[in-house]
Chain A
Amino acid sequence: MILSTRYRDLILYKALADLRAEAAKTYIGFLWWVLDPLIFMMIFYVVFGLLLKRGTPDFVSFLLVGLVSWRWLQNTIIHSATSILGGRGLMQQVYVPKIIFPLVVILTDLVKFGVVLGLLLIYLWLAGFNIGWAYLALPVLLLTQFLLIVGLTLFVAALVPFAPDLKYLVEHSLQILFYFSGIFFSSSTISENYKTYFYLNPMASIIEAYRDILMHQKWPNWLALALVAALGLIISLLMYRWIMRNDHLYPKLVQR
């Protein structure tokens, strides 16, 4: 069930090749990895920071932290939804384990997120948020979100080829989840009656943990993170196994 070195090398090189190709096909290349999220964030800043004046002084930082974390999840899931379908030309001519396709997307989006996270940290330091002991929890938090992303991504990538319309369902679900993840509001503003439901969304805990660490120099809620990590790990392992087991079905589905 574990991929051989040949396929691991292939995943790494394919991810590198995709990143290179993406940078090469536009004039300003990989600057888009920075500009694209920046533009997106500007829109939110203008709407919520300026027009709706939800502005406590830290609102921009508050918003950026939530958006950066959210976009990592959203981009990876959306990009990987059609990754196996997109590999149809390939899988009909050579045998490749189909799990490779979503794994490559997970890697390329991880790299792009890394760039944006770097920028976010620089921004936060410039905005006066100090680095505290809580930063030690950042790798744990990143790993937790990564596990969640891998799990959800493999789940979506595995199912979409069976019913390509699911892709739209996924996009809408993400849109809904986006509004319920506390990206532009804090959990403290939610009525007590609904708080439990709010935290059923793993991204709510993740985003709150980023803010605790990066803005409030506070340790995150370890129990919540442990639950999310366990959930992510279990889904990841189950879906990995499932895709490997049903590997032979995919070329049958995508044939025209």
Chain B
Amino acid sequence: MSKQLALSLNNVGTFYWRQAGYLRKERFWALKNVSFDLHHGESLGVIGRNGAGKSTLLQVLAGILRPDRGKMINHGVQAALLSLQIGFVPYLTGRQNALLSGMLIGLHRKNVIERMEDIQNFSELGEFFDQPISTYSSGMKARLGFSVAFQLDPDVLLIDEVLGVGDSDFQRKSSAIMHEKIRSDKTIVLVSHSVETIRKLCDRAVWIEDGISHAYGDTFDVLSVYEKQQSIKS
């Protein structure tokens, strides 16, 4: 591998506190032992069933959760989740929510203000942009959410399943722009339980099951191991 390292995980494990009856909490290890490397310019797919720990893994990569054992080395990158409709407040206008949400996902106030026109145009909300979002349909909210989230351009973009959002036209548009982004030189970690999505979009893949990384490498190899195991189970 000649590519530069962005993030390395060595035997990473993370737990949550889970309520276990009256006044008692127990540790639940959502991730037990995960190892892989992420290089610059790579699209890494994370495959696994629901509840395998994929979303927790993204939280660790985003710095939301700290590994409780093992080690994650950040080689000087900023990683962030593509999070839609973060911090939306129903009674505020689209514009006010765009500013609030933009600041929450990690942009500076003045950057959001500079890009406000782009956000408004991309969202196709027109004059609704200055109406309270409590008057929006769910499709309109999704459009606003995507338009804001898309402004964030971290070194490593972490994506959880959703690629296209909103009503059908916007879904096509947002999904196209996401695909373009993933195929570009951008460093991406994409979580999905769909083999097809990962095969189509990722150069490398890691398979997570029960919080453990079972296979890591080229997408083709990892997916064939994954599919073989799935067919044995069923």
Binding site for B on A (CB under 8 A): 5-6, 9-10, 13-14, 17-18, 20-22, 24-25, 90-96, 248, 251-253, 255
Contact = CB atoms under 8 A, between A and B. Distances in A.
Contacts of A90: 86-87, 104
Contacts of B96: 17, 20
Contacts of B188: none
B91 A21 contact: yes
Given A9-B109, A21-B92, A92 B64 contact: yes
Q: Of residues A6, A94, A251, which shows the largest number of chain B Cβ atoms within 10 Å of its Cβ?
A: A94
Nearest to B85: A93
B104 A17 contact: no
B50 to A, nearest CB: 15
A183 B81 CA distance: 50
Contacts of B86: 90, 93-94
A105 B36 CA distance: 41
Contact of A9 (B87, B105, B106, B108): B108
B92 A17 contact: yes
A9 B99 CA distance: 11
8 contacts: A20-B91, A21-B89, A94-B86, A94-B106, A251-B59, A251-B65, A253-B17, A255-B16
B80 interface: yes
A256 to B, nearest CB: 8
A252 B17 contact: yes
A94 B100 contact: no
Contacts of A5: 108
Nearest to B19: A256
Interface residues on B, range: 20 to 34
A252 B15 contact: yes
Nearest to B104: A94
A53 to B, nearest CB: 45
B86, B87, B106 — most chain A CB neighbours (10 Å): B87
Nearest to A10: B103
A251 B64 contact: yes
Contacts of B103: 6, 9-10, 13-14
A18 B97 CA distance: 11
Interface in B33-83: 59, 62-66, 80-81, 83
A248 B86 CA distance: 20
A20 to B, nearest CB: 6
A255 B90 CA distance: 24
B217 interface: no
Contacts of A20: 91-92, 96
A108 to B, nearest CB: 13
Q: Which 7 residue pairs are nearest across A and B when measured between Cβ atoms?
A: A24-B91, A93-B83, A21-B91, A255-B16, A9-B109, A248-B66, A21-B89
Contacts of B63: 95
A252 to B, nearest CB: 5
Candidate in A21, A90, A253 with the most chain B CB atoms within 10 angstroms: A21
Contacts of A6: 103, 106, 108-109
B29 to A, nearest CB: 12
Contact of B64 (A18, A21, A94): A94
Contacts of B132: 24
B91 A10 contact: no
A91 B63 CA distance: 11
Contacts of A93: 64, 81, 83, 86
A252 B104 contact: no
A92 B65 CA distance: 8
B26 to A, nearest CB: 12
A149 B197 CA distance: 52
Contact of B91 (A14, A25, A91, A248): A25
Contacts of B83: 93-94
